[in-house]
Chains A and B, each alone.
Chain A
């Protein structure tokens, strides 16, 4: 445990996040890139996950649902703007059939955001999740990553959609 603790302080957040996915038993990852997620995406490919680069986030919701029907555990990696592209599918597919899915989103539109177009969805994303009854957690600093594996497992155990936001501060 002591060693783990030391390691925890030396390695990148990207490594720790992908390690949490491994520990939680994620089988299939669908992704749409974000520059905040570049390190995680590279780490995912290094670790040999089944990784599907989708054209649009909603498509990832569909693939994840199909994988869940085949008994696989899926995760969708995207910006919070992708949540907007996925809303109908999340409720009329994943939630309607009670399929599990974990949404891991970079939290754009917060402090340090340079792109104005990221602001509206950035502000709306947490409220949208609350409206849809999707539980989420905020990962703002390295220590918060400890929550991740348990939260991902909860989605699969409860057959529900759970989400986490990765804040820009995590990498600073």
Chain B
């Protein structure tokens, strides 16, 4: 399974009103190519902050918030795992696509290619519903099992980017569209 297969699985599982925060670089570009939707927030910079943006968003709304994060990015902001353990509400699902490389910059290895175990790290930070999955079926099962709970799903994937273009939406419009979507479809 590659990153884009994880993204397809999440998009297929998510309800129309759910929100998806995607990490910068190829994760956002692949999400845009798979399904551009107003409830998507595409990060373009600020590497490491996907899980933080997701936490802040989940605290401000009752909607389900999925975060498409990566191993390199989580390691860049590892303290976020502890903050999530303290504050995250039941509507936050952090999906860490663990391909063990910096996929957007030429597949240089991250420390999960070595001795670092993100599931153990997330648990040690105080998170309860943490699991590792390796296939789309396992991912779907985990999404179902943790529905309505704060959860962290680490997905083992192979490296590799899909052949997708850049996102042709201005940053300000990405944010405004997302905020309008939240306001106008209030639950």
Contact = CB atoms under 8 A, between A and B. Distances in A.
B80 A55 contact: yes
Contacts of A158: none
Contact of A59 (B45, B52, B59): B52
Interface in B38-82: 41, 43-46, 48-61, 77, 79-80, 82
A67 B57 contact: yes
B166 interface: no
Interface stretch (B99-107, B109-117, B129-137, B170-178): B170-178
A89 interface: yes
Contacts of A74: 56
B13 interface: no
Contacts of B183: 71
Interface of B: 21, 41, 43-46, 48-61, 77, 79-80, 82-83, 86-87, 171-172, 174-175, 178-179, 182-183
Given A54-B83, A59-B52, A96 B44 contact: yes
Contact of A50 (B59, B83, B175): B59
4 shortest A-B CB distances, which residue pairs? Answer: A66-B56, A70-B60, A62-B52, A55-B79
Contacts of B178: 69
A92 interface: yes
Interface string A48-66: 0010111110111111111
B73 to A, nearest CB: 11
Interface string A15-39: 0000000000001100000000000
Given A59-B52, A62-B53, A67 B79 contact: no
B53 A65 contact: yes
Interface of A: 27-28, 50, 52-56, 58-72, 74, 88-89, 91-93, 96-99
A71 B179 contact: yes
Contacts of B87: 52
10 contacts: A28-B60, A54-B79, A58-B49, A59-B52, A62-B52, A67-B60, A71-B60, A88-B45, A91-B45, A93-B46
B56 A62 contact: yes
Contacts of B43: 93
Contacts of A53: 83, 86
B182 A70 contact: yes
Given A96-B44, A96-B171, A98-B172, A67 B56 contact: yes
Contacts of B171: 96-98
Contacts of A69: 41, 53, 56-57, 60, 175, 178-179, 182
A166 to B, nearest CB: 24
A6 B46 CA distance: 46
Contact of A63 (B41, B52, B82): B52
A129 B86 CA distance: 31
A89 B56 contact: no
A161 to B, nearest CB: 13
User: A27, A58, A99: which has the most chain B beta carbons within 10 Å?
Assistant: A58
A72 B77 CA distance: 23
A56 B79 contact: yes
Contacts of B44: 92, 96
Given A28-B60, A56-B79, A93-B53, 16 more contacts: A27-B60, A28-B59, A53-B86, A59-B83, A62-B52, A66-B54, A66-B55, A66-B57, A66-B60, A69-B57, A69-B182, A71-B60, A71-B61, A88-B46, A93-B46, A97-B174
